[in-house]
Chain A
């Protein structure tokens, strides 16, 4: 252990840097094909809302997905994923609760949805003046 500590503590900065680069590249080769979970927030949209109503709701929801590391990297999830909720059932103003279903969240078919939060949205409906 003493020798190991000594070698780490030595001043071989170039060797350390090159080992870090090679270590990263090695890891990348092995890890890029592995499935990983990633949690991030996606924008929340509503469609088919009656013209005389307006919605006050959170702008984003948090989702956790599982996919290949390279797929998560290649598809910019913050851009490519979103939740689109049908608001045609909303008829009148007031406080309402809407359940988000899995089908409401749009993802690339190579990316699997694991979890999302919140599953029920509390929204405020107002009439347009």
Chain B
């Protein structure tokens, strides 16, 4: 059988060797993809650097270092998992809210916008963060929890209360529930996400850009001086919208997020059905 000479130069003497190499490559590739898809903390570079260090140690005959890698490989892996457990858990378990199927009502948005406009007449600005399908529990810190369906009276009471802090956010979800007021982004837990700062933007805009670039949440603020609304989503800012245009855009964004989520849910369901079929023993 013809066997190319360059395979011999690579120490590949049989066809089965090529198969083995492809198996190794596939495992590394699949693991790399898994790490690359991490939205929070990309560990791909760390993984590649570790591999490089191992190969350099081996091929440069650094016996102690190679032994360390080989003997302590399970320990290194355990330490790696322990350090990055939060990140890795989010890859294993998609931190999505599980909801029963229901029609998304966006009329709460009109109620919310109306209350915000009322607040504008009282010279109060309102900042809100709308939680779509990515859970915000880990990313927001609040001192005043509410957990109630949005209605005009409740919103007016909250916004006009002495406890309401204008510079903080109101946390609502896409189903029209108000979770909390006086909410801040939990920057401490996620300070590794982003190091750049843009001094031209307000702090809430900077923070919201960072978080919405990683999550499907939508942030917006109403300005009493200009009677305009700024919307931040997917790491982008849309400034100086009229309240009416803002309302239309917000409705569209929420619906779009819902459609996208349903599509990914369908794909996951189909995949799990396939896996279950595969697992079932043949009769």
Chain B residue total in the interface (Cβ 8 A): 30
Query: What distance in Å separates the Cβ of A63 from its nearest Cβ neighbour in chain B?
Result: 14
State the CA gap A24–B51 with chains docked (Å). Answer: 12
Query: Other CB < 8 Å A-B pairs besides A19-B26, A32-B11, A69-B11, 11 of them?
Result: A1-B278, A12-B36, A19-B28, A19-B29, A22-B25, A22-B48, A23-B24, A23-B26, A23-B28, A29-B55, A69-B13
Q: CA A24 – CA B29 in complex, angstroms?
A: 12
Interface size class of A (residues with CB under 8 A): 20 to 34
Contact in complex: A24, B274 (CB < 8 Å)? no
Q: Min CB distance, B76 to chain A, in Å?
A: 15
On chain B, the residues within 8 Å of A73 by CB distance are 8, 11
Q: Contact: B58 with A29, CB < 8 Å?
A: yes
Q: Is the interface of B mostly helix, strand, loop or mixed?
A: helix
Q: Which residues of B contact A (CB under 8 A)?
A: 8, 10-11, 13-14, 17, 20-30, 32-33, 36, 48, 51, 55, 58, 267, 270-271, 274-275, 278
**Would you call B271 and A16 a contact (CB within 8 A)?**
no
**A2 close to B270 (CB less than 8 A):** yes
Residue picked from B29, B271, B274, most chain A C-beta under 10 Å: B29
Residue contact B271 to A27, C-beta cutoff 8 Å: no
Q: What are 9 A-B pairs at a CB distance below 8 A?
A: A1-B274, A1-B275, A3-B271, A8-B26, A18-B32, A22-B48, A23-B25, A24-B10, A70-B11
